[in-house]
Amino acid sequence: MIELNKIYNEDCLEGMKRIPDGSVDLIATDVPYRITSRGNAGSSGGMMQKDLSMKGKIFEDNDIKIEEYLPEFYRILKEKSHCYIMCNHINLTHFLKVIDESNFHFIKCLVWVKDNKIMGSFYMNQFEYIIMLRKGGAKNVNNCGISDVLMFANKKDKDKNGQNLHDSQKPVGLFQTLISQSSKKGETILDPFMGSGTTAIAAIREKRNFIGFELNKEYYDKACKRIKLEQAQLTLF
């Protein structure tokens, strides 16, 4: 059985098989989708493009096929629940096509606007999409006054050597917004691609339970350490 408030170092397709039908209140995840460039912020606030091996891959396991995961996402979500999936412009068309052929109801695309830019072939890239889906009947967000354009600094945590904990780490505040909008205190949030633990940290701060999977052992260890520190902070207050 799956325990709450724990991350598992395994393939989420295998791990999710142990989650009962209709038992998760919200899925919020940043799937390891294909990208084309990466780099360090320059003095102009832009990002200088670097060469990437493996045709735009930044992680060894980022050739996932979203069509393999959506049926499991749908199965384990409760009725009238939301699912948020991060996506960039390269993968948006494919993701939406697969979603259209699934049982999910597409609600809209939110936009996360960053405070830095990435050099591209045309315009500089400064945002990512957040695809919002629903299982079952209508469900409103908790605060309809929040814009669908979310602005959060793209600041990444560093390790003791000054390196990024995760090259695609997302802001905790961004995921706190998604979690607070589409769930209630005490409910359970799933992130099948936990990375360095951002979704778990956001869930803890919003007083929700979490379940996570992370295949990469290095990121799994970093996530566990971050979560332990976050939970320790709570005991101080």
Contacts of 39 (CB under 8 A, 6+ apart): 47, 48, 49, 50, 118, 119
Q: Distances from the Cα of 63 to the Cαs of 46, 188, 214, 221, in angstroms?
A: 27, 27, 15, 22
Q: Where are the beta strands (DSSP E) in the chain?
A: 6-8, 24-29, 77-87, 105-118, 125-135, 149-151, 188-191, 209-213
Q: State the Cα–Cα distance between residues 143 and 149, nearest whole angstrom.
A: 14
Q: State the Cα–Cα distance between residues 222 and 9, nearest whole angstrom.
A: 11
Specify the pLDDT at position 36: 43
End-to-end CA separation in angstroms for the chain: 32
* Cβ-based neighbour number of residue 230 at 10 Å: 17
Q: State the Cα–Cα distance between residues 219 and 228, nearest whole angstrom.
A: 14
**Nearest-CA neighbor of 153 among 50, 59, 36, 41?**
41
Specify the pLDDT at position 42: 35
In order of start, what are the domains of the chain with their CATH numbers? 6-234 (3.40.50.150)
Mean pLDDT per 10-residue segment, the chain (237 residues) = 96 97 97 54 34 40 80 98 94 95 98 85 89 96 97 72 60 96 98 95 97 95 94 77
What residues does 217 pair with on adjacent strands?
none
**Do 201 and 220 touch, CB atoms closer than 8 A?**
no
**Nearest-CA neighbor of 106 among 75, 70, 135?**
135
* Angle, CA 118 vertex, CA 218 and CA 205 arms, to 5°: 50
